[in-house]
Amino acid sequence: MKAEVDMNKGVAERESHLWNAMHKHDPDAKKMVAVSGEGSWFKDEEGNAYLDGVSGLWCLNVGYGRQEIVDAAAEQMKKLSYFPLTMNHQPAIQLANKISELLGAAYQTFFSNSGSEANETAFKIARQYHMQTGNPGKYKFISRYRAYHGSTMGAMSATAQANRRVKYDPSAPGFLHVAPPYSYRSLYSGTPEEKDLRAADELEEMIQWEGEETVAAVIMEPFISGGGVIIPSMKYIQRVADICQKYHVLLIMDEVVAGFGRTGKMFGFKHAAGVQPDIVTMAKGLTSGYLPLAATAVKAEIYEAFKTEGKDNHLRHVSTYGGHPAACAVGLKNIEIIENENIVNRVNELGESKLIELHDLMNHDNVGEVRQVGFLLGLEMVADKVTKEPLSDAKMGEIVGRCKQKGLIIGKNGDTVPGGNNILIIAPPLTSTEEDLDFIIETVSSVIHSM
Ligand code: PLP
């Protein structure tokens, strides 16, 4: 039996000048301070070990403490400590080529430092592309309610969860939101797939009502992650891709969470046969979080519009640190590990043979739905299975807190209904051992059953 963590140890806000992300002010609450990590586990200053069941912020795809990645960064830093991508360096060229190979078609990649920036870059590229190909009126972006696309002004504008926006609005003009393919709480009737396809119909209607000549792009994650792990029918993704093509609207696929194996494919969109997005944004799993790096990969046909000879039509966009040589070297090593260790297949197999056990929790009165693709799981917690009233924030906090006490970090998120924060999130490192996965299953199950 693992010893329980003393939750009264750590650093209180009154003792620190650090402003934590997404935390309510509480001067006395003790927050653990991490000092080291190995595999799926990290340790705090008190020596407590925790299994990181959300991979940091869903980014530690290959887990903590991979010496080969540390070495790749150090060697690259020794050779060339910094270089801007207004010119070239080999790690960036090699990584851009590798991304194109993995995406399965010719893409040109622009590097930046975070998922938010990757999406901002995609928005600028989409608008400029239309402007330079005879459609200057196409400037609007459509995303889905509950989507999260980042924290900067444009990415926040595409984000459509009230609790992440209301205090910062008005957001950037030209961002529209449509219903997500959320069959569990759909207004429509029918099978989950039929409900999802109605959501796609709504998206098509929105383009028609707005005027196709005004719509630049649709941005979507293949599986909404931060908005509550929503897993649509693949026909929905295929249909959205068809709609985009029909109205000459670019499809921006946000693979910031799904990319690099999380869902049991190298990229999430690959679950939807025949879909090849115009722009793919990625970050997190690109370096497994070892260094900041993000990428905006643009189909070669789109890139054509930025290189017509004799025309001043290049992308007026630059990032001082984007594509840092050490970050690109880390990205290359990280992908090498994912490929050499066959991590994508592993996620498929262990997702099906192990994590699937969490679906048994559906028997519990407070578990409304268990949604899973690979190592991305969401448990929709409800107070009542018939009314689907979200489980209270207090109860959700209790579950997450009890798991932490037992040495397991899991997340909660959602905005399922305005103010509802009732999805438990489990997204462990893709290298988690079978024992690690057993620990997650046992801990989450025992905490939920003890409620
Ligand atoms: N897109 C998605 C789907 C995300 O989940 C996130 C972050 O969680 C982002 C974009 C923004 O990434 P970053 O925090 O690196 O800016």
Nearest atom within ligand 1 for CA of residue 119: 10
268 lines ligand 1 (CB under 6 A): no
Structure tokens belonging to residue 78: 């020794």
CA distance 36 to 44: 7
Among 118, 352, 153, 125, residue whose Cα is nearest residue 255? 118
Contacts of 47 (CB under 8 A, 6+ apart): none
Where the chain has pLDDT below 50, the residues are: none
112 lines ligand 1 (CB under 6 A): no
Judged by DSSP in three states, 151 sits in coil
Neighbouring-strand partners of residue 44:
34
Q: Environment class of residue 83 by beta-carbon count within 10 Å: exposed (0-12), middle (13-18) or buried (19+)?
A: middle
Is it true that domain 27-62+343-449 has CATH number 3.90.1150.10? yes
Give how far Cα 391 sits from Cα of 53, 369, 373, 405, Å: 21, 12, 23, 21
Distance from Cα 154 to the centre of ligand 1, integer Å:
12
Query: Are 258 and 222 contacting, i.e. CB atoms less than 8 angstroms apart?
Result: yes
CA distance 442 to 385: 23
Tell me, what's the pLDDT at 387? 94
Strands (E), 33-116: 34-38, 41-44, 49-52, 107-112
Give how far Cα 171 sits from Cα of 9, 109, 167, Å: 40, 27, 10
Tell me, what's the pLDDT at 13? 79
Contacts of 380 (CB under 8 A, 6+ apart): 184, 228, 367, 368, 369, 370, 371, 414, 416, 422, 423
Nearest atom within ligand 1 for CA of residue 224: 3
Distance from Cα 57 to the centre of ligand 1, integer Å:
9
57 lines ligand 1 (CB under 6 A): yes
Write the residue with the smallest CA distance to atom 13 of ligand 1.
115
CA distance 207 to 399: 41
What b/e sequence results for 86-107 when a residue is b if at least 16 CB atoms lie within 10 Å of its CB, and e otherwise?
A: eeebebbeebbebbbebbeeeb
CA distance 71 to 67: 6
Helices (H), 377-420: 393-405
CA distance 109 to 96: 6
411 lines ligand 1 (CB under 6 A): no
Distance from Cα 200 to the centre of ligand 1, integer Å:
23
CA distance 324 to 81: 8
Give domain 68-340's CATH architecture: 3-Layer(aba) Sandwich (3.40)
Q: Which of 120, 255, 256, 267 to mutate to test the pocket of ligand 1 (most atoms within 8 A of CB)?
A: 256
Distance from Cα 29 to the centre of ligand 1, integer Å:
27
351 lines ligand 1 (CB under 6 A): no
Distance from Cα 192 to the centre of ligand 1, integer Å:
27
Tell me, what's the pLDDT at 1? 61
Among 417, 418, 390, 377, residue whose Cα is nearest residue 223? 377
Q: Which of 116, 143, 425 to mutate to test the pocket of ligand 1 (most atoms within 8 A of CB)?
A: 116
Distance from Cα 32 to the centre of ligand 1, integer Å:
24
Q: List own/partner pairs for 357-362 with CB under 8 A and 24 or more apart.
A: 357/441, 358/426, 358/440, 358/441, 358/444, 358/445, 360/445, 361/444, 361/445, 361/448
Domain with CATH 3.90.1150.10 in the chain: 27-62+343-449
Structure tokens belonging to residue 316: 């007026």
pTM exceeding 0.95 = yes
Tell me, what's the pLDDT at 31? 87
Domain with CATH 3.40.640.10 in the chain: 68-340
Distance from Cα 91 to the centre of ligand 1, integer Å:
24
150 lines ligand 1 (CB under 6 A): yes
